[in-house]
Structure 1
Amino acid sequence: MPSTKRKVIVTGFGPFGSHSVNASSVAVRKLKEEGLKNDRVELMVTELPVEYDTVKDSVPQLWKQHEPLLVVHVGVSGIATELTLEQQAHNDGYDKMDVMGKCPQTQCCVEDRDKNCVLVSGIDMERVCTAVNTAGIKVKARVSHDPGRYLCDFSYFSSLHISDRNAAFIHVPPLDMPYTASQLAEGLRVAINKMIEQVADR
């Protein structure tokens, strides 16, 4: 019998640059292994390559195919030391080459939106941050308003363009700097469950 649970999709990224092992995908796979521990939803995870063209095609397909309650993109940041909850994303400034040596010709994510458009998630990241920081776990969180103008920002804007009320982005630090994969997964679980509360109660 088909599941009646709404789907929550969590994506990580493949390797790029100095991140031959991308902490985001490792943490997301660990989250899948350990589960969200939430009976209200069905968790799906997938890995996105660090390629603009593929992300531009894949993200809308995920939304269309699965009609998820929530999509959370997870990426690694070499400067992060905690879970970094991104509140917004940008449409322009994508001039950094992906792993295929490409970037968007217009340096924009969505062509039919204003170049300078900034989309803000309807999910209150301050509430999510408080939930993580008061959960009694090792991982701590902070809120950010700049996802970085690379594939992280690009994927986030792609999802916010589709549903700005049901999309989120979380940056994680590299593995063991300072958190293990299991600790990152635990932090993601707390954060995502708090997001689910917000989107499910609307």
Structure 2
Amino acid sequence: MKKKVLLTGFDPFGGESINPSWETVKQLHGETINEILIIAEQVPTVFHQSALVLKKAIQQHCPDVVICVGQAGGRPHITPERIAINIDDARIPDNDGQKPIDEQISDHAPNAYWSSLPIKRIVKQMREHGIPASISNSAGTFVCNHLFYQLMHFIDRSQSMIKGGFIHIPFLPEQTTDKNEPSLSLDIMINGLRIAAVTAASHDIDIRESGGSLC
């Protein structure tokens, strides 16, 4: 059976007309590489609603790997995230106008979750293909971190063997015409996320001794 990798990208936010996360992952939708099928879904840049859309997509597609992708304007590299923290603290409103300050994402839940993706291997594979990549130790406190935390909390509570995590990507060049910020081309970021998907699906890491399936 083919393995499935679910990639998610956000809709535009913060005054931008595009979001590189969605522009990138939608180009990979339907690709099959080495018996690995990539599926792409868009999620809203909205606290809590983004997680509801993600959970529905997981239940629909039954993926083996989930990689949520978001925009990190100002970063020069593709950056797999190491950790999600249990806090919402927004500098700007989300797309529904919500601006939580120092709010827990989930009560009576862990302070943080580690990514279960092979992030060092992903970075190594990207670099070997000439793609700027590095590990990030902070996914921020906006909707990206919120979705990352909700993904890992869902996997943990469901006792699923799904591997999950988050990757931030830079601006696209067309987003930087009015700002002095680094960017990467769409083709480079597509290839980087393709490498991440295949590497994650091909690499076996034991995140718990036993577990069930959501599907």
How does the TM-score come out when normalised to structure 2? 0.81
Q: Which residue of 1 aligns with 2:201?
A: 196
Deviation at 1:194, TM superposition (A): 1.0
Q: Match for residue 136 of structure 2?
A: 144
Does residue 67 of structure 2 align to residue 72 of structure 1?
A: yes
Q: Give the one of 165, 169, 192 matched to 1:168.
A: 165
**Following TM superposition, by how much is the alpha carbon of 1:50 offset from its aligned partner in structure 2, in angstroms?**
0.6
Q: CA 1:104 to 1:129, structure 2 compared with 1: closer, same or farther past 3 Å?
A: same
Separation in structure 1 between the aligned mates of residue 101 and residue 171 of structure 2, nearest angstrom: 30
Matches within 5 A, 1:1-202: 4-32=1-29, 35=31, 37-96=32-91, 97-103=93-99, 107-114=103-110, 117-135=111-129, 137=130, 139-163=131-155, 166-176=163-173, 177-199=182-204
Q: Report the 3-state secondary structure (helix = DSSP H, G, I; strand = E; otherwise coil) of the residue aligned with 1:143.
A: coil
- Identity across aligned pairs (percent)? 24
Q: Could you tell which deviates more after superposition, 147-156 or 159-168? A: 159-168
Match of 2:159 in 1: none
Distance apart, 1:106 and its partner CA: 7.2
Q: Give the TM-score normalised by the residue count of structure 1.
A: 0.85
Q: CA deviation at 1:192?
A: 1.7
Q: Which runs of 5+ in 1 are unaligned?
A: none
Are the counterparts in 1 of residues 8 and 43 from structure 2 also a CA contact under 8 Å? yes
Instruction: Work out whether residues 59 and 158 of structure 1, in 8 Å CA contact, stay in contact via their aligned partners in 2.
Output: no
RMSD of the alignment, in Å? 2.2
Name the SS for the 2:104 alignment partner: coil
**In 2, are the aligned partners of 1:89 and 1:119 still within 8 Å (CA)?**
yes
Is there any run of 5+ residues in structure 2 with no aligned partner, and where? 157-161, 174-181, 208-215
Contact 1:30/1:181 (CA < 8 Å) preserved in 2?
A: no
Q: CA deviation at 1:147?
A: 0.4
Q: CA deviation at 1:103?
A: 4.0
Give the Cα–Cα distance (whole angstroms) in 1 for the partners of residues 187 and 76 of structure 2: 16
Question: What is the CA deviation profile of residues 60-111 of structure 1, one whole-angstrom value per residue up to 9, with x for unaligned ones?
Answer: 2222232210010111111111101101101113344211111458722223
